Amino acid sequence: MNRRIIILTIIVMTVALIGLMGIQIYWIQNASAVKEAIFRRSVNEAKESIVKKLERIEKKKAVEISQFEGMLNFNRHLPYESFITKDELDSLISQELNIRGIDTRFEFGIFQQDSSVFKMEKSMNFRKELIEKSYASPLFQNDFFSSPQYLLIYFPHEKQFLLTELWGMLLISIILIIAIVYSFTYTITTIFRQKKLSEVKNDFINNMTHEFKTPISTISLACEALSDHDMRQSGEFTENYIHVIVEENKRLAVMAEKILQTAVIDKGQMKMTKEKIDLHDVISEVIKNISIQVEIKDGVILKNFMAVNSVLEGDKVHLTNLVYNLLDNANKYSPKKPVIRISTENTSSGILLTIEDKGIGISKAEQKKVFEKLYRVPTGNIHEVRGFGLGLSYVKATVEEHNGKISLESEVNKGSTFKVFLPFKLVEKN
């Protein structure tokens, strides 16, 4: 996918997501406003009904008293205590609120405005809130002689109550938004990872074609020369050409083997044979093979075998390849005279192998990546040093198969040190 299209898609998706979240927030706010309005209306209705009921109760009581005392005073109302108790008023309010679906804690009080006293109140803890933030209703409005009085109702948990009603909606919205954001970021990172992978794979194919082309064309030239009648007369030439073909063929075989090995590692089917191996012998053998390449560049390989016990259990072929790959890298990535030091030492449970070079080094950011398959430290468009980026991933897989550990210390332009720990005993995995 084109980089511009990806970026455009990201922008469109981000804008859409933000828009969607905005609309969601707007709807939730709207719903909350509606809930609040309904709540207020229900409380007002409840208040009116309570006031009416209070007046009715009072009137009934007044009639009872007048029958008893023989006089009726319609203009003055009775003191509250005489016709209703605090608990009765409490249950009256509670009943009226419950009918309207308001099931939250409330406080109430009957307040005389001019003298600023509470004639009756549920608890004394909310006087300030009752006066400042409550729902108020005038009582006994036709009583012109007494000073105005109010029934005040206050809900200490009003906000929470309104929120609990919205809680389900809010929760589902949050879960959905998180799900969308998660899928979105996952998709984007996958796209980028795939893009990177396809670039790496392209590089690899280019690289491989190039690597294979050289020996193939050398072999075909040598074959051409050999098929020439005159050439065949000279035994020395023939020998030389055959030698070239054999050598180039070996190179091809090594490269093909390397690629095949990687496929095997990928499937997790690395074949291991367990035998007793002297690591010093393995290293010496590899040095013998690789020293020509190092000497061509005027370099040296310094051996420092300090391990007293150099025998361990492992797979000879894989361990040989491991040492070869590390020494090959140390040589390849030392542009001038390579100075490579290879040392061994014993620890309580195994052997520590250290391969040190004074080459180009690897920056901190790249150090983790070099063990990934097909990864090569980018050096602009041209790679002076040929390779597939498979060596270290193979080394890492081999170390893991041997239950060992590998670490890397390196500084750009100073050099690199690879440390490989291999245990004496190889515990086979199931």
**Total site size for ligand ATP, rule CB under 6 A:** 21
The yes or no reply on residue 391 touching ligand ATP (CB under 6 A) is yes
Q: How far is the CB of 328 from Mg ion (least distance, A)?
A: 5
Whether 343 and 305 have beta carbons less than 8 Å apart is answered as yes
Under rule CB under 5 A, which residues in 366-395 are in contact with Mg ion?
Answer: 391
CA 352 to chain centre: 35
CB nearer to ligand ATP: pick between 21 and 255: 255
Q: How far is the CB of 254 from Mg ion (least distance, A)?
A: 12
Minimal CB distance to Mg ion: which residue? 391
- The contact mask relative to Mg ion for 76-105 (x = CB under 5 A, - = no) is ------------------------------
The two three-digit tokens of residue 79, written as one number? 């003191």
The yes or no reply on residue 392 touching ligand ATP (CB under 6 A) is yes
Q: Exposed/middle/buried for 134, CB within 10 Å: 0-12, 13-18, 19+?
A: buried
CB nearer to Mg ion: pick between 307 and 390: 390
184 phi and psi, to 5 degrees?
A: -60, -50
Whether 310 and 282 have beta carbons less than 8 Å apart is answered as no
Q: How far is the CB of 336 from Mg ion (least distance, A)?
A: 19
Q: How far is the CB of 309 from ligand ATP (least distance, A)?
A: 27
CB nearer to ligand ATP: pick between 139 and 397: 397
Distance CA 85, CA 92 (A): 11
Distance CA 162, CA 158 (A): 6
Q: How far is the CB of 359 from ligand ATP (least distance, A)?
A: 5
Q: Within 10 A of 91 (CB to CB), how many other CB atoms are there?
A: 11
Q: For residue 341, what are the β-bridge partners?
A: 302, 356
Distance CA 309, CA 328 (A): 26
The yes or no reply on residue 54 touching ligand ATP (CB under 6 A) is no
Binding-site member from 120, 377, 399, 420 for ligand ATP (CB under 6 A): 377
Angle subtended at Cα 212 by Cα 208 and Cα 216, rounded to the nearest 5 degrees: 165
The yes or no reply on residue 211 touching ligand ATP (CB under 6 A) is no
Distance CA 108, CA 88 (A): 12
What is the torsion angle, in degrees rounded to the nearest 10, for the CA atoms of residue 176, residue 179, residue 180 and residue 184?
Answer: 180
Q: How far is the CB of 280 from Mg ion (least distance, A)?
A: 23
Binding-site member from 62, 151, 245, 330 for ligand ATP (CB under 6 A): 330
Q: How far is the CB of 207 from ligand ATP (least distance, A)?
A: 9
Q: How far is the CB of 213 from ligand ATP (least distance, A)?
A: 16
In the sheet that holds 117-121, the strands lie side by side as: 117-121, 107-112, 149-154, 135-139
The yes or no reply on residue 321 touching ligand ATP (CB under 6 A) is no
CB nearer to ligand ATP: pick between 90 and 409: 409
Whether 45 and 100 have beta carbons less than 8 Å apart is answered as yes
Binding-site member from 137, 329, 354, 416 for Mg ion (CB under 5 A): 329
DSSP string, 245-313: HHHHHHHHHHHHHHHHHHHHHHTT------EEEEHHHHHHHHHHHHHHHHHHTT-EEEEEE--S--EEE
- The contact mask relative to ligand ATP for 237-276 (x = CB under 6 A, - = no) is ----------------------------------------
CB nearer to Mg ion: pick between 118 and 375: 375
Q: How far is the CB of 377 from ligand ATP (least distance, A)?
A: 3
- Look at residue 265 and give the partner it binds from Mg ion, ligand ATP, none, a contact being a CB closer than 5 to 8 Å depending on partner kind: none
Q: Give the footprint of ligand ATP on this chain (CB under 6 A).
A: 325, 329-330, 333, 357, 359-362, 370, 375-377, 387-393, 416
Q: Give the footprint of Mg ion on this chain (CB under 5 A).
A: 329, 391
